[in-house]
Amino acid sequence: MENSVDNTPVKGCTSGLQPPLTAVLLRGYQTKGGFTMKAKRNLTASIPDETRKTVYRRDGYRCALCDDTHGLQIHHVVHRSCGGSDDPMNLVTLCWRCHAEAHGTLIPERHSYLPKTAEERWVTWRSLIDEYEQLCVEYLSEYYAIHGAEWYPYK
């Protein structure tokens, strides 16, 4: 990254997170071949199968954000490096596309402008992570409130 890039952390803890450096940050419809395959690979590998199933079941085998039923993956809302746990309370079902967007590595199709400079990519990356963190927090806190539990994603 260039020195002029704003390095203040995105909302929440992002230690261990790096902005994407290579040929990422493409709008969905522009992704093909290698990149799509890369995005489709699950970003979270180490969650026990039983926990995975619990989370998928809770979320109705749908993406919590767009209702897609294909390419489902599990996302840590609060990153482990920030004290987020592998408890279902900290996990949410996302489709591969929303998951890549939540990590700031895929520009949603609704974005009409594709970032070009390093600064623009950085700003977009940060705002996507913030936006999707907020959406996931809203989804989970509402779900647990409805079921009479206080949402607590930490260990």
Give me the residues that bind Zn ion (CB under 5 A), please. 43, 63, 65-66, 68, 75, 95, 98
The dihedrals phi and psi of 153, each to the nearest 5 degrees, come to: -85, 5
Phi/psi of residue 39, nearest 5 degrees = -65, -30
Question: CB of 148: closest distance to Zn ion in angstroms?
Answer: 27
Smaller CB distance to Zn ion: residue 94 or 122? Answer: 94
Q: What's the closest the beta carbon of residue 124 comes to Zn ion, in angstroms? A: 17
Closest separation in Å from C-beta 108 to Zn ion: 10
CB neighbour list of residue 138: distance below 8 Å, 6 or more residues apart: none
Across 7-152, where does the E strand assignment appear? 72-76, 91-95
Shortest reach from residue 114's CB to Zn ion, in Å: 20
Cβ nearer to Zn ion, comparing 68 with 131? 68
Q: In 3-state terms, what secondary structure has residue 134?
A: helix
In single-letter form, the type of residue at position 46 comes to S
Q: Which is nearer to Zn ion, 3 or 18 (CB)?
A: 18
Instruction: Report how far residue 72's alpha carbon sits from residue 40's, in angstroms, rounded to the nearest whole number.
Output: 9
Strands (E), 53-112: 72-76, 91-95
